[in-house]
Amino acid sequence: MQALAAAIEAARPRVVAALAARFRDLDLAEDAFADASVAALSAWTQEPPRDPAAWLWRAAFRKALDAIRRRAVRDRTAFDTPEPEPTPEEALMAADAPIPDERLRLIFVCCHPAIAADVRAALTLKVVCGLTTERLARAFLVAEPAMLQRITRAKRKIAAAGVPFEIPGPAAWPDRLEAVLATLEIAYAQAYEDAALAGDAAAFAPEVLRLSGLLAELTPAEPEALGLAALVRFAEARRPARLDDTGAMVPPEAQDIGLWRHDLIDDGARLLDRAAGLRRSGPYQLMAAIHAVHAARRESGATAWSDIVALYEALLVVRPSPIAAVNRAVALGEAQGGEAGLAALAAIPEPARLAGWRPYQAARAGLLAKAGRPAEAAEALRAALALSPAPAERLFLERRLAQLTD
């Protein structure tokens, strides 16, 4: 049973995408695939057929045609509508042809800028990966009816506004690709936050790993697509080492190299090399490169902090953010000493707002301790602890505080 379900899930993206592209209707594609899956579970009594995707494609194609025919009959009672396209004969011939690979088209449809940014990630995970609305609602912290409504509204807009089931043309390509990459980044951020991968976004990590790999494979000349795929691989590689036995957070430079997933690091490095060969830098490549420097500790035995400082500086030029500025200061502290890091931290604009921001207080605590100012470091740690850290970070900060005040 588990093998059958796994075979169905593995076939889903390709079959749903082909159906959606063929019939230009996301709901029809999802419903037909669901019907075909039910049929498969009773037809495949022991084990899946040799080519489960082809079986599901043929079955779902027929289900979709049935649905169109039923819809046409229903509509004809009210209006005098013409025969639906395609005719059943033509369509059955099409179903016998190999499954066209329309996955990239489907990703572009779900990540269209005409859909609100926060809905794109949920819609992509729903339509392309088949995650349930219930699971998405829990992961994105909304009630299930609200999530269902968002997804329904997005699908309705795609149909009504005429969002094309096409790969965008050259003029729209950069914007559209960026929207796709940002969508995958949002989905992955949900999974990354949950270090133990025990929560509601647990299913996102393998899906984003798969989707980003697929995108890199389908757009091999896009360095940022390769960069994002590398980034996700490097980050996932370190997941088993991110928490210690007590559940406390472990920073990258202190992680046990033996726990890292070296296969993913190798994949990430290969993708990043290919991206670099295309000679167009960008934020995802830079973020992946920062991970790559951390990962390189497995060969060199030490973290090359000055490289990390340089990469954060490049990142701050193309994509400025408070977290990148804070991380640069921390890296500078490691490379040149606590006072240098504190000076960099002090140079970040809007100190009043930063004071109430946990990553800033945590970074400041580390730099103050490094600079030999334990009393101030303890004060910063207390400030960070008061800003409701997640349990893993709380344990980490509490331990640091205990070490300082011993």
Q: Residue 171 or residue 302: which is nearer to another protein going by CB?
A: 171
Residue 78 binds to another protein (criterion: CB under 8 A)? no
Least Å distance between CB 162 and another protein? 4
| Nearest alpha-carbon partner for 369 in 395, 334, 394 | 334
- Residue of 42, 45, 169, 299 interacting with another protein (CB under 8 A): 169
Stretch touching another protein by CB under 8 A, among 158-166, 272-280, 337-345, 348-356: 158-166
Burial class of residue 85 (count of CB atoms within 10 Å of its CB; 0-12, 13-18, 19+): exposed
CB-based contact 386:399 (threshold 8 Å): no
Tell me which residues in 100-119 interact with another protein (CB under 8 A).
112, 114
Residue 168 binds to another protein (criterion: CB under 8 A)? yes
Rounded Cα gap, residues 85 and 262, in angstroms: 51
Tell me which residues in 18-77 interact with another protein (CB under 8 A).
none
Q: Residue 179 or residue 325: which is nearer to another protein going by CB?
A: 179
Q: How many residues bind another protein (CB under 8 A)?
A: 12
Least Å distance between CB 96 and another protein? 29
Stretch touching another protein by CB under 8 A, among 63-71, 155-163, 186-194, 239-247: 155-163
- Residue of 163, 295, 332, 397 interacting with another protein (CB under 8 A): 163
Residue 302 binds to another protein (criterion: CB under 8 A)? no
| Nearest alpha-carbon partner for 307 in 317, 294, 316 | 294
Three-state secondary structure string covering the chain: CHHHHHHHHHHHHHHHHHHHHHHCCHHHHHHHHHHHHHHHHHHCCCCCCCCHHHHHHHHHHHHHHHHHHHHHHHHHHHCCCCCCCCCHHHHHHHHHCCCCCCHHHHHHHHCCCCCCHHHHHHHHHHHCCCCCHHHHHHHCCCCHHHHHHHHHHHHHHHHHCCCCCCCCCCCCHHHHHHHHHHHHHHHHHHHHHCCCCCCCCCCHHHHHHHHHHHHHHHCCCCHHHHHHHHHHHHHHHCHHHCECCCCCECCHHHCCHHHCCHHHHHHHHHHHHHHHHCCCCCHHHHHHHHHHHHHCHHHHCCCCHHHHHHHHHHHHHHCCCHHHHHHHHHHHHHHHCHHHHHHHHHCCCCHHHHCCCHHHHHHHHHHHHHCCCHHHHHHHHHHHHCCCCCHHHHHHHHHHHHHHHC
- Residue of 78, 160, 352, 375 interacting with another protein (CB under 8 A): 160
CB-based contact 319:283 (threshold 8 Å): yes
Residue 240 binds to another protein (criterion: CB under 8 A)? no
Least Å distance between CB 107 and another protein? 15
Stretch touching another protein by CB under 8 A, among 57-65, 168-176, 288-296, 374-382: 168-176
Residue 82 binds to another protein (criterion: CB under 8 A)? no
Rounded Cα gap, residues 217 and 241, in angstroms: 28
Least Å distance between CB 174 and another protein? 13
Least Å distance between CB 21 and another protein? 13
Q: Residue 23 or residue 260: which is nearer to another protein going by CB?
A: 23
Residue 301 binds to another protein (criterion: CB under 8 A)? no
Residue 161 binds to another protein (criterion: CB under 8 A)? yes
Residue 337 binds to another protein (criterion: CB under 8 A)? no
Stretch touching another protein by CB under 8 A, among 169-177, 230-238, 343-351, 361-369: 169-177
Q: Residue 171 or residue 221: which is nearer to another protein going by CB?
A: 171
Q: Residue 127 or residue 241: which is nearer to another protein going by CB?
A: 127
- Residue of 1, 171, 221, 375 interacting with another protein (CB under 8 A): 171
Q: Residue 57 or residue 108: which is nearer to another protein going by CB?
A: 108
Stretch touching another protein by CB under 8 A, among 64-72, 85-93, 154-162, 277-285: 154-162
Least Å distance between CB 396 and another protein? 47
Residue ranges that bind another protein, judged by CB under 8 A: 112, 114, 160-164, 166, 168-169, 171-172
